[in-house]
Amino acid sequence: MAAAGISLTGAAPAGTATPMSRVVPAPASVQPGGSPYRITDSTRIRVDGSRGAREAGEYLADILRPSTGYRLPVTTRGDGGLQLRLGAKGLGAEGYRLTGGSSGVTITASGPAGLFHGVQTLRQLLPPAVEMDSVQPGPWLVAGGRIEDSPRYGWRGAMLDVSRHFFTVGQVKRYVDQLALYKLNKLHLHLSDDQGWRIAIDSWPRLATYGGSTQVGGGTGGFYTKADYREIVRYAASRYVEIVPEIDMPGHTNAALASYADLNCDGVAPPLYTGTDVGFSSLCVPKDLTYDFVDDVIRELAAITPGRYLHIGGDEAHSTSHEEYVAFMDRVQPVVAKYGKTVVGWHQLTAATPAKGAVAQYWGLDSTGAEEKERVAAAARGGTGVVLSPADRVYLDMKYDRDTPLGLDWAGYVDVRRSYDWDPGTYLPGAPSSAIRGVEAPLWSETIVTSADIEYMAFPRLPGVAELGWSSASTHDWEDYRVRLAAQAERWEALGIGYFRAPHVPWPAR
């Protein structure tokens, strides 16, 4: 529990309710006031008859029961207690309203995702000990007042590179739960690269069985069966997180080229690769077989992906000529559309001709040349959507500082303030703000092997990226944010999430 006394650490003193103004990401509107509600042995979770409310209620109960020790039945009958209701007007697909007073806390929303996000807010209003899986003393107070909240952007993402090192279904689910806590709604899975192909494709089985058989450093790698992938998709959807699968091409394809000699222009399969160089591989652009391969892969992947998007990579194609790159993208983007998906590509796609409605993921730096930035901005003016992942701001694999034991530093050190202190709405000169779909924090895994590694790099930066995606620019304030961020630490500790105790954040003593 929180240390006693007025806390510079942002944690509420024991026995008092966490102020509504402490929530991360910052809500659109907070009006504190009135008496707190106390969850007790007789509290019920009251839902309307909708499936969304019932599911949100069961999810909430699953969080609260182990630590409170209360029964907390989920019921459609009666009044008061913890109420979850659909049918509110005007809050959008993901917004919610939370009102608290002495007789209960009510969350209303227009859609089930909004109820789910409202439950995440309620969770943060409860003491961090609520996250424990053994009975804790409480008291379980929720501050009185009213929060009305909806997101700034529809794309609030994280990316996990499961190619350089493979992560199991369980590890991916664990990360999904961490995304959900901060209202992130996209998990982009980087499923293929030079070092490993991670998704079973029935018509090209060696991609997974051979191309997936190793990883950086030479370990055994791994791949998702289609059943595994469906389970990730299902679990993510239960947390209102959409999976965005990426097959990177035409570069970053050594694992595929090693699996099938015929995919190579010279008909010779290269060896599997376990190093960390980039830019040395390319699919054979002139060969027709390449497009049979691409069609099969995209068809099979689209068929198991209910989400709207399919990411085709397109970055660092240094072994593909410009002409061939353009020709390749002209042929491949319509395949994505044919199977009902919207193209996403790294922003190099804007050097070709992005398909109508495509989304470009910008991963440049402050120091990226004006010409490259303008190419992306021009595409944005022409209708291409933009997701912002500036590498020197939100690449979670960049070291925090010189002493960070994990990660890379080619984009520089990215400390917690740097990752938070920018505005997606004005970041890319010349790009209309209406083209900005949101933000995404990639985590490349050349040096990342375990869930503990993921968490050390993601926390505390990921919640800041979530706030950039969710909260209005008017709430942006480092001095305020760092106090709210510090207050998250005890929750991470209760959840078993290890994090970097970044300087300039008033972390609680331990």
Min CB(346)–ligand ACM separation in Å: 5
| CB-CB contact of 305 with 245 (8 Å) | yes
Min CB(118)–ligand ACM separation in Å: 34
Phi, psi of 270 (to 5 degrees): -75, 165
Q: Per CB under 6 A, does 325 bind ligand ACM? A: no
Q: Could you tell me how many residues of this chain bind ligand ACM (CB under 6 A)?
A: 4
What is the x/- site pattern for ligand ACM, positions 326-355, by CB under 6 A? --------------------x---------
DSSP secondary structure string for all residues of 310-342: EE------TTS-HHHHHHHHHHHHHHHHHTT-E
Q: Which of 55, 316, 324, 421 binds ligand ACM (CB under 6 A)?
A: 316
Q: Phi-psi region for residue 176, left (φ > 0), alpha (ψ -120 to 50) or beta? A: alpha
Q: Per CB under 6 A, does 315 bind ligand ACM? A: yes
Q: Which of 153, 182, 240, 363 binds ligand ACM (CB under 6 A)?
A: 363
Question: Of 106 and 281, which has the nearer Cβ to ligand ACM?
Answer: 281
316 has catalytic annotation: yes
Question: Of 204 and 363, which has the nearer Cβ to ligand ACM?
Answer: 363
Tokens of 245: 């699968």
| CB-CB contact of 217 with 238 (8 Å) | no
Catalytic residue among 316, 324, 372, 493: 316
Question: Of 131 and 315, which has the nearer Cβ to ligand ACM?
Answer: 315
| CB-CB contact of 250 with 285 (8 Å) | yes
Q: Per CB under 6 A, does 140 bind ligand ACM? A: no
Nearest to 442, CA basis, from 394, 478, 384 = 394
Coil, strand, or helix at residue 246?
Answer: strand
Min CB(163)–ligand ACM separation in Å: 12
Please calculate the CA angle 171-177-179 and round it to the nearest 5 degrees: 105
Min CB(184)–ligand ACM separation in Å: 19
Min CB(268)–ligand ACM separation in Å: 26
**Alpha-carbon distance 169 to 235, whole Å?**
10
The residue of the chain with the least Cβ separation from ligand ACM equals 315
| CB-CB contact of 351 with 371 (8 Å) | no
Question: Of 183 and 311, which has the nearer Cβ to ligand ACM?
Answer: 311
Catalytic residues: 316
Contacts with ligand ACM by CB under 6 A lie at: 315-316, 346, 363
